[in-house]
Chains A and B, each alone.
Chain A
Amino acid sequence: MFYYYTNMLFTVDHASPLALADQIAAQVRGGLGRGELEAGERLPPARDLAAALGVNMHTVLRAYAQLRDEGLIDLRRGRGAVVRGHVNAERIRLIELARAFVTEARRLGLADDDITAILKEVRP
């Protein structure tokens, strides 16, 4: 009779050097990557999640905005944050790889042009 949503556990560490918004976004990505979160599922309302974790609502909204920019969720007024249809585990792993690549490039002091140049270089 009842339709069950996937359970979602969010944890944030206030002592971690990672920004709280990044931590929250990473947990959603993890859930998507492991296949625990599926298309059409709704993330908890930002206000609720912020109160639950004891963080600012804008921190959660920043995390959700980050996920939207990555094309993982839709953010619509009134409907909240909904996992997008085409999202799959492979794509998310690829985004994670790209993120690691960009982070490493920044550490080496490369600018955006250098990064895109490298991408063009490795293209077959």
Chain B
Amino acid sequence: MTRRLRAVLAAIAAWVPAGVLLASPPSRWDNLPSTLATHWGTSGRPDGFTGTTTTWTVALVVTLLAGALATAAATMWHRFGPGSRLLLGVAGGVGGAAAGIWLATAASTAATGSADDARISWRLSWFFIGLAYGIVLYALAGRAPATPAGDPSENVTPDAMTLAPSQQAAWTTVLRSRLLVGATAVGLLIGVAALATTAPRSWTWAVLVVPAAVLLVLAEVRVSVDRRGLRLTAGLLRLPFKRIPLDRIARASVENIDPLRWGGWGYRVMVPGRSAFVTRSGPGLVVDLTNGHRFAVTVRDPRTPAALLNALRHREPVG
């Protein structure tokens, strides 16, 4: 069985919890009232109740999302590498757990015919069995292919730019996202409207302010290369959030950046030994550090800053 086929089988198997939900709608049960016991106290008596149709619908949506997630993970098998296997496992666990919760709560209430008298007892194990379905998918998916190194023909280390000892050079560019600013504004408006209509406590405003501030800070980022090294500055606050001095740089090169191999879009520190500011897939400036780490940032013409860094790093470092 090929690796690819195993991933596809795992993705198909990830839809099984959704199938279980579709095969067991409330109408298929005898003796199921319109309200389910969904939470039990330490005494074993139920103390939380939810509508039967609501419980089934929510569980179905969760299993459908899990199936979609697993399918996406399987289609990105070759690009995402080990992350795909993990996602398949997570999707299996989440979907399985949702199906387990539905079966356990519905069966508990159906057994007595009334939510007030329902006991979950051993049926709680169905939740854990559902959760363990994630392990099954993880095992079924098998080892992911090692992440490919990309097309090496596109990765070049430009020669150092010619700079006379009396010359000083600085390169700068700005990455700005109108979408990020727009999305933040829309998100804020929705949040404000939601808070205004639900009579919030005063501290709930903080929930809005923090993500909005983060988004606005990252909406404009200035990338500069000069005698101080490579630095990324958050535009609105002029906050340097990434600084790499010249004496820590071993080599600067141009590479084709695949966001999935660098941990995704945005400011990323997910992959060990790698960090990146990625705004799209395409050419980027990649810096190899003296400690073996790598840093990448996507810019329009990475050749110039790479050549400049290669010229500057031979000079005496300047504070």
Contact surface of A with B, Cβ cutoff 8 Å: 1-16, 42, 44-45, 48-49, 51-55
Contact = CB atoms under 8 A, between A and B. Distances in A.
B226 A52 contact: yes
B169 to A, nearest CB: 4
Interface stretch (B28-36, B104-112, B299-307): B299-307
A27 to B, nearest CB: 10
B173 to A, nearest CB: 4
Nearest to A16: B166
Interface of B: 163-164, 166-180, 222, 224, 226-228, 233, 238, 265, 279-280, 298-301, 304-305, 308, 318
Given A7-B304, A52-B226, A53-B226, A45 B238 contact: yes
Interface of B is mostly: mixed
Contacts of A11: 163, 167-170
Contact of A13 (B164, B224, B228, B318): B164
A54 B318 contact: yes
Contacts of B164: 13, 15
A90 B168 CA distance: 29
Contacts of A6: 173, 300
Nearest to B173: A7
Contacts, number: 97
B228 A7 contact: no
A73 to B, nearest CB: 16
Contact of B173 (A5, A14, A53): A5
Nearest to B305: A7
Nearest to A9: B171
A11 B173 CA distance: 15
26 contacts: A1-B177, A2-B176, A2-B279, A2-B280, A2-B298, A5-B174, A7-B299, A9-B169, A9-B170, A9-B308, A10-B169, A11-B170, A14-B166, A14-B167, A15-B167, A44-B170, A44-B222, A44-B224, A49-B172, A52-B227, A53-B169, A53-B170, A53-B226, A53-B227, A54-B227, A55-B168
Contacts of A49: 170, 172
A5 B228 CA distance: 22
Nearest to A1: B179
A63 B172 CA distance: 17
B198 to A, nearest CB: 32
B175 A51 contact: no
B308 A4 contact: no
Nearest to A42: B174
Contacts of B169: 9-12, 53
A3 B168 contact: no
A1 B226 contact: no
A2 B280 CA distance: 8
Contacts of A9: 169-171, 304, 308
B300 A4 contact: yes
Nearest to A47: B238
Given A6-B173, A7-B300, A1 B279 contact: yes
